[in-house]
């Protein structure tokens, strides 16, 4: 498969690992685990500057998250943008994932393109490919955009 396809698959693996569609709850995932999985599937330090502003719809989530994990000071700058990305892309819609990734993390073209990274349960992997298949029309647009960006 192409580099772009591998990058999108890795993005989906990252998202689905924290998705309600795979019976996972983002609130239950520790900041250490979020960073570990981010590094595994995404593989680059976020390039978007730390976001001081928190969108209104995320305030309650982040407040509850930091209260639960009680380590706000240690992780806020490392995890906040990643959490905002994951929270805003819970629907797993390809176009939304693409735009929110660039808003909160950095260029999609920087995602690791290593194929067949392990780390998801077999049933979760199946859900991931079903979601990708359901977004196939939107993925064509994203692939074209990614290829254009690599040419520029």
C-alpha to C-alpha distances, 65 to 8, 19, 58, 72, 103, nearest whole angstrom = 27, 16, 10, 9, 21
**Residue 106 reports pLDDT greater than 80:** yes
Whether the per-residue pLDDT at 96 is higher than 80: the answer is yes
Q: Which residue did the predictor score with more confidence, 17 or 139?
A: 17
What is the mean predicted confidence (pLDDT) over 15-43? 91
Give one word for 70, left, alpha or beta, with left for phi > 0 and alpha for psi -120 to 50: left
Which residue has better confidence, 86 or 91? 86
Burial class of residue 31, CB neighbours in 10 A (0-12, 13-18, 19+): buried
Looking at the predicted structure, is the pLDDT value of residue 62 above 80? yes
- pTM, to two decimals: 0.83
- Residue 149: predicted pLDDT: 66
- Would you place residue 94 in the very low, low, confident or very high pLDDT band (cuts 50, 70, 90)? confident
Least confident span in 27-41, 44-58, 131-145: 131-145
DSSP code of residue 117: -
C-alpha distances out from residue 25 to 22, 73, 107, 122, Å: 9, 22, 26, 18
Res. 86: pLDDT tops 90: yes
pLDDT digits (tens, 9 = 90+) for 107-130: 999 999 998 878 777 667 777 777
Question: 33 pLDDT exceeds 70?
Answer: yes
Listed by start position, the domains of the chain span 3-151
pLDDT higher than 90, residue 133: no
pLDDT of residue 36: 92
């Amino acid at each position: 498969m192409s580099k772009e396809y591998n990058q999108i698959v890795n993005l989906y693996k990252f998202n689905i690992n924290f998705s309600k569609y795979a019976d996972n709850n983002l609130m239950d995932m520790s900041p250490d685990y979020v960073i570990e999985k981010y590094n595994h599937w995404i593989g680059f330090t976020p390039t978007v500057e730390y976001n001081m502003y928190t969108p209104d719809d995320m305030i309650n989530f982040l407040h509850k998250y930091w209260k639960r994990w009680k380590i706000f000071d240690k992780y806020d700058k490392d995890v906040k943008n990643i959490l905002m990305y994951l929270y805003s892309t819970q629907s797993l819609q390809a176009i939304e994932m693409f735009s929110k990734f660039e808003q909160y993390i950095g260029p999609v073209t920087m995602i690791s393109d290593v194929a067949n990274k392990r780390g998801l349960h077999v049933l979760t992997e199946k859900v991931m490919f079903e979601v990708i298949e359901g977004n196939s029309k939107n993925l064509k647009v994203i692939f074209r955009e990614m290829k254009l960006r690599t040419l520029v």
